[in-house]
Amino acid sequence: MEFLVSIIIPTYNRAHLIGETLDSIIGQTYSNWECIVVDDGSSDNTNEILNFYCNKDKRISYIQRPDNRVKGANTCRNYGFELSKGKYVNWFDSDDIMLPEHILVLVTTLEKRNVDFVVGDSVDFKEGIEEKIQSYTFDRSKNEMTPFLFATHQIGWITDDFLGKREMLLRVLFNETLSANQEYNYFIRLLHYKFKGVFVNQILSWRRLHSQSITTRKIENKQIYFKVICDIKYQTAQDLVTYNNHELIRWFLSGYMKNAFEMAVLKQTIPYKMEAFKLICRYFSVFKGVAYIVALLLARYSKKGYVIMKYARS
């Protein structure tokens, strides 16, 4: 018996790419799936492309993000999940490619190993370049999956690689205030629960890298990069307060302070500056919270304060 798999895809102005993604889903050897595409307000001809595919295959549905929901891919994923019906859920991106055995291998492994979730493998690719590079390289044979290992990039996976049981995913929603790295935040929180997962040592998806991808834009713009890192570091630290994980909260706050210092040197506006101050006082000390503020002021007005910030982070 094939249980229903819900494939949930957020999209925004990917009319030129999403057709290839949907073709790869239609070509799956596992047939019992539904694909829910949630549009984040595209201004291109995404509507035309999706109407074509919905008529081509009734397992595909196309939905607009409601106007009363905050804009962003995270909201689209959460909304798509609310509408989905599958026993298993596979998050996917609207510019990536599923290899034909993607769903079959993930579902078969999950059921045979009697686990809550499975993680396949993937490669990065660019149009016109034949060589493909693995998205993550680490020893997948150990099967150890902890929040700390994921947070510190000793293990990792892209959203496409993951398939999990619905009852597990009801415990955690995507953080809708994050503009990037939302999957990183999501999986760190998910791993705090005592769910059992295994790696599948097989390439099952291709992640597309292109000039409009968030990954590429972050690398090319230092100022955007620092802001994105500050955002994910602070918000993940704040989210982890729920789990009372002091070690990881301190690790994320230390990373936040490092990037906040770089932003201060560039005279940029630092996100969550005072909110972070309160967390630093709570999880480090009041003295280190004050040192953090002093170091930012020195960095902004004299490009000094590195030693003080180093003390605050220690």
> Do 153 and 35 share a structural domain?
yes
Q: What is the pLDDT of residue 222?
A: 72
Q: What is the pLDDT of residue 217?
A: 47
Q: Which CATH number goes with the domain that contains 12? A: 3.90.550.10
Among the three residues 210, 231, 249, which one is the final residue of a domain in this structure? 210
Is residue 216 a part of any domain in this protein? no
User: How many angstroms separate the CA atoms of 262 and 268, rounded?
Assistant: 9
Question: Domain containing 268: what range?
Answer: 221-313
CB 252 within 8 A of CB 151: yes
Q: What is the pLDDT of residue 211?
A: 61
> Do 201 and 98 share a structural domain?
yes
Each residue's pLDDT tens digit in the chain (314 positions)? 799 999 999 999 999 999 999 999 999 999 999 999 999 999 999 999 999 999 999 999 999 999 999 999 999 999 999 999 999 999 999 999 999 999 999 999 999 999 999 999 999 998 777 678 888 888 888 778 999 999 999 999 999 999 999 999 999 999 999 888 889 999 999 999 989 999 999 999 999 986 655 454 444 577 788 888 999 999 999 999 999 999 999 999 999 999 999 999 999 999 999 999 999 999 999 999 999 999 999 999 999 999 999 999 99
The whole model's pTM is what? 0.91
Beta-carbon-side half-sphere exposure of residue 241 (alpha carbons within 13 Å) = 13
Pairing state between β 117-126 and 60-64 = unpaired
139: exposed, middle or buried (C-beta count within 10 Å: 0-12, 13-18, 19+)?
exposed
Q: Say how many residues make up the chain.
A: 314
